[in-house]
C-alpha cells in the first residue's frame, strides 16, 4: 500500500521555493493517495539554535500555512514531529547503522556547519538520519521534495536497504517525487537556491509577502544583459528561474511561455511574473491571516494529526524493536 510522507522545518514562513518544490505537490498528492502524512519537523529545526518562543509560534504558523496552501486535514495527516516520539527512537537505531563518512558529505552539514560555532552540533551532523527515520517510520513509499533533498533521500534508501539486509526485509525503498521546477533560485543570485535563511531581503519571496513587496522583489530580480525572454537554465539562470516560477504556477510549459513572451523584454516579463505570483499567493496570504487567529483550531488539527501518526508509527516501531532484539 503506497504511503506518502514529507516534512518541512518550522523556521519561518515558507517561500516560493518551498511552495513550488514541495507544498504545491503535497496538495495534489492528498487527492491521489489514501495515506498521506506531512510533518512539521521541529526536531530538525533545533539542529541550529532557535529561540523557544519563536519556535513555538512558528510551529502554529506553519500549521496555518499548510492549511492555507490547501492541505486538508481530513485527507492528510498534519502533525508535529516531536509529538510522535518514535521518530527520535527510530533515528537512534538507524544512526547505529550509519557510518560517519557517509554523513560528512551531505549538504546540510557541509553548508550549515561552517556558519555555526564549534563546527555545528552532533544533531546537525546526524540530521539526515533523523530524516530517514521520519520516512521509514511509516514505511513510506513516496516522498515529495525539492531538488535539495535528493541526497537525503538517497541516504534513506541506503539505510533501508542496509536494515533489510541485516535484519530481514522490512522497509520499502522510498522514491522521491519531484515537481518539474524542482529548484527555485534566489532572485538576487541565480547561482544559489532560494532559501529561508538568505540574509538578502529581496532574494526570497515569502508566501505572506504583500503584492507591493512581490512587485519590488521581481522588479529587482537579477537577470543578465540580454533583453529577450528565453529558457536556458545553464546559460541564463536568472531569467530561466522566472520562467520556471511562471511555469510552475500557471501550468504552462516553458516553451509555451517563451513563445507567448515574444516581443516582451525581461523587465516587462518580470512584472508579468510578479502578477502571476500575486494572483497565486494572495488567497494563501489572506487564508493564513484568518487561520492565525484560530489558534485553538490549529492546536486541535495538530493534536489529531499526532494521534493518527502515532497510531501508524507504533506498530512499525514495535516490529523494528523486535527485529533488532529489544523485545
Q: Which of 7, 304, 301 is nearest to 138 (CA)?
A: 7
17 binds ligand TYM (CB under 6 A): yes
CA 315 to chain centre: 27
What is the footprint of ligand TYM within residues 49-78 (CB under 6 A)? Answer: none
Cα 148 to Cα 20: distance, rounded to the nearest angstrom: 13
Question: For residue 301, how many other CB atoms are within 10 A of its CB?
Answer: 23
223 binds ligand TYM (CB under 6 A): no
21 binds ligand TYM (CB under 6 A): yes
Q: Which is nearer to ligand TYM, 134 or 246 (CB)?
A: 134
22 binds ligand TYM (CB under 6 A): yes
86 three-state secondary structure: helix
Q: How far apart are the first and last CA of the chain?
A: 27
For residue 271, give the C-alpha cell: 512584472
For residue 249, give every residue at least 6 positions away whose Cβ sits within 8 Å of its Cβ, in sequence order, or none: 20, 276, 277, 280
What is the footprint of ligand TYM within residues 168-197 (CB under 6 A)? Answer: 183-184, 193-194
Q: Which contacts of 322-326 are long-range, i.e. CB under 8 A and separated by 24 or more positions?
A: 323/167, 323/168, 323/170, 324/93, 324/167
Question: For residue 233, how many other CB atoms are within 10 A of its CB?
Answer: 17
What is the pattern of x (binds ligand TYM, CB under 6 A) and - over residues 113-152? ------------------x--xx-------x-xxxxx---
Q: Which is nearer to ligand TYM, 200 or 260 (CB)?
A: 200
The minimum distance between CB 29 and ligand TYM, in angstroms, equals 12
Q: Which is nearer to ligand TYM, 30 or 149 (CB)?
A: 149
Residue nearest to ligand TYM (CB): 21
The minimum distance between CB 67 and ligand TYM, in angstroms, equals 16
Q: Which is nearer to ligand TYM, 189 or 294 (CB)?
A: 189
- The binder of ligand TYM chosen from 13, 36, 41, 244 (CB under 6 A): 41
- 145-161 exposure pattern, b = at least 16 Cβ within 10 A, e = fewer: bbbbbeebbebbbebbe
The minimum distance between CB 178 and ligand TYM, in angstroms, equals 9
The minimum distance between CB 161 and ligand TYM, in angstroms, equals 17
Q: Which is nearer to ligand TYM, 143 or 258 (CB)?
A: 143
The minimum distance between CB 259 and ligand TYM, in angstroms, equals 25
86 binds ligand TYM (CB under 6 A): no
115 three-state secondary structure: helix
The minimum distance between CB 63 and ligand TYM, in angstroms, equals 14
238 binds ligand TYM (CB under 6 A): no
9 binds ligand TYM (CB under 6 A): yes
Determine contact, residues 5/134, Cβ cutoff 8 Å: yes
48 binds ligand TYM (CB under 6 A): no
For residue 325, give the C-alpha cell: 532484539
For residue 154, give every residue at least 6 positions away whose Cβ sits within 8 Å of its Cβ, in sequence order, or none: none
For residue 287, give every residue at least 6 positions away whose Cβ sits within 8 Å of its Cβ, in sequence order, or none: 67, 68
39 three-state secondary structure: strand
The minimum distance between CB 186 and ligand TYM, in angstroms, equals 8
Q: Which is nearer to ligand TYM, 18 or 240 (CB)?
A: 18
3 binds ligand TYM (CB under 6 A): no
State the residues that interact with ligand TYM by CB under 6 A: 5-9, 17-18, 20-22, 41, 44, 131, 134-135, 143, 145-149, 183-184, 193-194
Amino acid at each position: 500500500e503506497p504511503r506518502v510522507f514529507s516534512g518541512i522545518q518550522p523556521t519561518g514562513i515558507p517561500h516560493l521555493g518551498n511552495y513550488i518544490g514541495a507544498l504545491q505537490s503535497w496538495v495534489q498528492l492528498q487527492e491521489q493517495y489514501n495515506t498521506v502524512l506531512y510533518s512539521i519537523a521541529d526536531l530538525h529545526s533545533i539542529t541550529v539554535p532557535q529561540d523557544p518562543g519563536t519556535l513555538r509560534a512558528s510551529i502554529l504558523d506553519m500549521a496555518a500555512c499548510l492549511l492555507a496552501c490547501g492541505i486538508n486535514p481530513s485527507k492528510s495527516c498534519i502533525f508535529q514531529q516531536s509529538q510522535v516520539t518514535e521518530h527520535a527512537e527510530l533515528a537512534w537505531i538507524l544512526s547505529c547503522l550509519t557510518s560517519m563518512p557517509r554523513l560528512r558529505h551531505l549538504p546540510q552539514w557541509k553548508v550549515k556547519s561552517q556558519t555555526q560555532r564549534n563546527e555545528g552540533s552532533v544533531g546537525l551532523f546526524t540530521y539526515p538520519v533523523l530524516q530517514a527515520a521520519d520516512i521509514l517510520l511509516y514505511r513510506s513509499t513516496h516522498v515529495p521534495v525539492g531538488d535539495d533533498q535528493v541526497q537525503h533521500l538517497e541516504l534513506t534508501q541506503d539505510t533501508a536497504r542496509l536494515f533489510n539486509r541485516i535484519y530481514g526485509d522490512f522497509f520499502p525503498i522510498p522514491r522521491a517525487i519531484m515537481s518539474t521546477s524542482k529548484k527555485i533560485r534566489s532572485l538576487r543570485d541565480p547561482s544559489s537556491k532560494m532559501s529561508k535563511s538568505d540574509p538578502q531581503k529581496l532574494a526570497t519571496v515569502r508566501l505572506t509577502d504583500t503584492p507591493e513587496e512581490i512587485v519590488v522583489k521581481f522588479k529587482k530580480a537579477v537577470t543578465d544583459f540580454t533583453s529577450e525572454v528565453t529558457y536556458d537554465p545553464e546559460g541564463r539562470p536568472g531569467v530561466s528561474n522566472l520562467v520556471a516560477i511562471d511555469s510552475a504556477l500557471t501550468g504552462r510549459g516553458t516553451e509555451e511561455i517563451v513563445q507567448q513572451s515574444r516581443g516582451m523584454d525581461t523587465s516587462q516579463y518580470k512584472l508579468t511574473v510578479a502578477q502571476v505570483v500575486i494572483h497565486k499567493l494572495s488567497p494563501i496570504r489572506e487564508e493564513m491571516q484568518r487561520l492565525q487567529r484560530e489558534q485553538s483550531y490549529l492546536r486541535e488539527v495538530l493534536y489529531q494529526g499526532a494521534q493518527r501518526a502515532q497510531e501508524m508509527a507504533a506498530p512499525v516501531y514495535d516490529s523494528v524493536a523486535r527485529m533488532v532484539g529489544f523485545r
